Each structure stands twice: as structure tokens, then as C-alpha cells.
Amino acid sequence: MRQTLGTYLEDPLLGRLYADIRAAGRVRSISVDLTHQCNLRCTGCYYFSEGMDRFQTQRDDSVFDRFLESEIARGTNFVTVVGGEPSLELGRLKKVYDRFWMNVATNGLRRIPREGFERMPIGVSLWGNHSTDLVMRGGGRTDVFTRALKNYRDDPRAFWYYTVSPGKAHEIEGVVRTCVENGNRVLYNYYSDIDGLGGELDYRQGFSDVRRAIDRTIEQYPDQILMTSYFSEIVATGHLFGQKWGHDVCTNTTFDHPANAVRVQNGNPFNPHFRAYNADFTTTRRCCTGIDRDCESCLDVWEHFSWIMLNMRKHLASRQAFTDWLTTMYLFYLINRIVDFESGVKLLPEIHRLSGVSTS
Ligand code: SF4
Ligand code: SF4
């Protein structure tokens, strides 16, 4: 196996990408809801759909400070900050930023200032073009997309975290053009329809049109898209080397939560460090995106990054499989600025060329 890997790494670009992520070292991650509050009520938000806001944040920060200290002591070096809306809690956000590799997901309504947050990876949520986003996130009243465009214009920290649904594939190219012209890169996510609204939002339709549109944007903007075609395929289809995405293979489950006791014994790889913390900074739940939701509806991109990451061995079977693994992994490290961002983004066109765009 070592010999096979060595052969693959003779390619200068693969060798460079692999050296960069190995030099960065092991990621020991958690996710945390920074607050139970939000200034929006998006249609089909997993956080409120599952009632996770019942775990409430205390105003006094002493619990939060103790939580951070205990995570440092436990060896955590990476935090995915979710919620609730993290921009409502800049003081806590700053404490996370100052101590860990991290990223934050925000709805973009309130700008996270540059001062004190100079290099923070900020994923700005977006669910469609102006009219779709207005209905799905803005309740028909708030044009969240326009506000977020203004808040993050030409801001190199920000990338759009663009959640696409099966019936909205025709919007993708126009939306991405707007994002790129605003001076930001794009990472895709896939709408889960956790509320079972169906129709054009129904993930059961499959994402073939969405994948084709994503591949076209990779061809149009190879230096701006932070997702490989391979990764898009894995998230959209939920298939990886004969396994089907679900709780029994999901790698980002809280390792010591009772709901995962059987999972961690079933022989599939899992993250032995990960915990998903509620907004009380004390209790944990089964996983970042759910308490007891049906995993079939789970299309979360960060969880799928982990699934691929922890299945490296299977990707050693061929040069192309290893290339797909490595380029996808590298983009995780790049988005989260665990490797040098400025030199890494220059490699994006070459990464997409190596990963290949499949329009099948
Ligand atoms: S902004 Fe995020 S947390 Fe708030 S309602 Fe929308 S999806 Fe949910
Ligand atoms: S909802 Fe998603 S992240 Fe949570 S256990 Fe199921 S598959 Fe994993």
C-alpha cells in the first residue's frame, strides 16, 4: 500500500497537496451551536425543525469559557460553528477564532466585522436566486441575498454556502455568476427537505440536474468553486464504494453519545474525537445536523467531507480514486484555512482538472 501511495505521489501536484495536508496534521473536530437564537426562520431549517433551540444559551459566559478550556484540554483543534445565528454572538465567536481552526456558517444578515476576525472562514448561506431565497429564507419580506452580497462584497474571508434543491437547478449558473461578480467563491450544499414539503424541494427526485449545473460552473469558474465534481457526486448520490450514506456509515457522530453506541462498534470508520454540542455548551446530541431525524434526508456537505476523509484506504485502489480523495480533502483544508489559503487557491483550476468533471 505504501508503495502504491508513493507511486501516486510522484505526480508533483498530488505530492504537493498530500505534503500540505500531512504537514498540517490531524484535525480533531467538534461542532457547536454558538447560540439558540436566530434572526430568521428559514423554510425547512434543520435546527428549528428538530427543536434544537430547547437547549438554551446562558447570558453569563462562564459556562462557555469552561467549555472552551475543556475542549482545548481534550485536544480539540477544529470547531465548526453553527446555531442559531453565530453573528449574533460576536464575543463568543471571537473566542473560538482566537483558539482553534474553525469555520462559521452565517445567514449573512449581520456582517461579521473584519477587525478581530481577519482570516475567519465564513460560509454565507444562500438557498437560491433572489426570488427563491426571498421566499425560503426571508419569509417573502427580507431580501437576505441582497443584504449578504453587500455585507461580504470583495471579502476574501467569505464563501457562499449555496444550498440547492432538485427543482432549482436552472438557477445555479445565474446565482454563481452573481456570487463570483461579488468577489466571493462558492461551496455547494444540498437541500434536505426535512419538513417534507416535496415538489421541487424533494431530495428523493435526485440531483442529476443539479450536478450537471454544478459541473458547468466548475468549468466556467474553475478558480472560484470550492467543491470537486467527485465530491458533488458522493453527496448527491450518497454512495461511496458500495456503501450507502446513513447512520451506520456516518463518521461525524458524537463518539460517546448513547445514540451512537451501536454505530461505533459496527466496524465502519468513525471520528473518535468528534462531539456535536448543543447551545448550552454542556450537552451533546447524536450529530451536528440532527437529534433523531431520518438520516436518509441528510445531505450535509461537512459530514460527507468527513465520510470521504476517513475512507482513504478505499481510495487507494486506483490513481483516479486517490486523486479524487486527495483533491476533495485538500479543499476541506483550504476552505478552512488549515493550509496556506493564498497559495492554495491558485491551485484550484489544476485541482478541478485532476479531479475531472463528470457530466454523466
Ligand atoms: S439562518 Fe440558519 S439557523 Fe437561522 S433559521 Fe435559517 S437555517 Fe435556521
Ligand atoms: S443525520 Fe446525517 S450527520 Fe446525523 S447521523 Fe444521520 S447521516 Fe450522520
- pLDDT for residue 146: 98
Question: Ligand 1 pocket: which of 39, 48, 122, 288 to mutate (most atoms <8 Å of CB)?
Answer: 48
* Cα 80 to ligand 1 centroid, rounded to whole Å: 15
Question: Ligand 1 pocket: which of 40, 46, 162 to mutate (most atoms <8 Å of CB)?
Answer: 40
| CB-based contact 174:145 (threshold 8 Å) | no
Residue 192 Cβ inside 6 Å of ligand 1? The answer reads no
- pLDDT for residue 358: 46
* Cα 353 to ligand 2 centroid, rounded to whole Å: 31
H or E element: which one contains 162? Answer: strand 158-164
The residue behind cell 507511486 is: 7
Q: Which residues line ligand 2 (CB under 6 A)?
A: 246-247, 250, 252-253, 286-287, 289-290, 293, 295, 298, 300, 303
The answer to whether position 178 is within a domain reads yes
Atom of ligand 2 at shortest range from CA of 250: 8
Q: 158 φ, ψ to 5°?
A: -90, 140
Which CATH number goes with the domain that contains 88? 3.20.20.70
The answer to whether position 248 is within a domain reads yes
Query: Domain count of the chain?
Result: 1
Q: 55 φ, ψ to 5°?
A: -90, 100
> CB count, 10 Å around CB of 116?
12
The answer to whether position 308 is within a domain reads no
Residue located nearest, by CA, to atom 1 of ligand 2:
295
| CB-based contact 55:102 (threshold 8 Å) | no
Could you give the residue ranges of the DSSP H alpha helices within the chain? 2-8, 12-24, 46-49, 62-74, 90-99, 130-136, 144-151, 172-181, 208-220, 229-237, 301-309, 319-335, 341-345, 348-355
Question: Ligand 1 pocket: which of 37, 47, 106 to mutate (most atoms <8 Å of CB)?
Answer: 47
* Cα 153 to ligand 2 centroid, rounded to whole Å: 33
- pLDDT for residue 357: 63
Measured CA to CA in angstroms, residue 32 lies from 85, 196, 274, 278, 329 at distances of: 12, 26, 11, 6, 22
* Cα 17 to ligand 1 centroid, rounded to whole Å: 34
Q: If phi over 0 gives left and psi between -120 and 50 gives alpha, with beta otherwise, what is residue 125?
A: beta
The answer to whether position 181 is within a domain reads yes
* Cα 38 to ligand 1 centroid, rounded to whole Å: 6
| CB-based contact 280:58 (threshold 8 Å) | yes
* Cα 125 to ligand 1 centroid, rounded to whole Å: 9
| CB-based contact 331:231 (threshold 8 Å) | yes
The answer to whether position 227 is within a domain reads yes
Q: Checking DSSP bridges between strand 243-244 and strand 239-240, what pairing results, if any?
A: antiparallel
Per-residue tens of pLDDT for the chain, all 360 residues? 777 899 999 999 999 999 999 999 999 999 999 999 999 999 989 999 999 999 998 888 999 999 999 999 999 999 999 989 999 999 999 999 999 999 999 999 999 999 999 999 999 999 999 999 999 999 999 999 999 999 999 999 999 999 999 999 999 999 999 999 999 999 999 998 888 889 899 998 999 999 999 999 999 999 999 999 999 999 999 999 999 999 999 999 999 999 999 999 999 999 999 999 999 999 999 999 989 889 999 999 999 999 999 999 999 999 999 999 999 999 999 999 999 999 999 999 999 999 876 433
CA distance 146 to 54: 31
- Contacts (Cβ under 8 Å, ≥6 apart) of 344: 20, 330, 333, 334
Question: Ligand 2 pocket: which of 189, 245, 253 to mutate (most atoms <8 Å of CB)?
Answer: 253
Q: Checking DSSP bridges between strand 158-164 and strand 284-285, what pairing results, if any?
A: unpaired
Q: How far apart are the first and last CA of the chain?
A: 31
CA distance 219 to 24: 29
Q: Quick one: which of 216, 128, 223, 211 has its CA closest to 183?
A: 223
The answer to whether position 63 is within a domain reads yes
Question: Ligand 1 pocket: which of 32, 85, 194 to mutate (most atoms <8 Å of CB)?
Answer: 85
Domain range holding 295? 30-299
Amino acid (1-letter code) at residue 357? V
- pLDDT for residue 59: 83
Residue located nearest, by CA, to atom 8 of ligand 1:
45
What letter does residue 283 receive in the DSSP assignment? -
- pLDDT for residue 360: 38
Coarse DSSP helix, strand, coil percentages of the chain, rounded to the nearest 5 percent:
45, 15, 40
Q: Whose atoms come closest to the Cα of 192: which ligand?
A: 2
CA distance 125 to 108: 7
Residue 138 Cβ inside 6 Å of ligand 1? The answer reads no
The answer to whether position 154 is within a domain reads yes
H or E element: which one contains 210? Answer: helix 208-220
Residue 233 Cβ inside 6 Å of ligand 1? The answer reads no
Q: 28 φ, ψ to 5°?
A: -115, 100
| CB-based contact 237:360 (threshold 8 Å) | no
The answer to whether position 338 is within a domain reads no
The grid cell for 71 is: 475542549
CA distance 191 to 155: 26
Measured CA to CA in angstroms, residue 72 lies from 96, 208, 274, 308 at distances of: 11, 42, 13, 26
The grid cell for 276 is: 456535536
Residue located nearest, by CA, to atom 4 of ligand 2:
287
Residue 85 Cβ inside 6 Å of ligand 1? The answer reads yes
H or E element: which one contains 344? Answer: helix 341-345
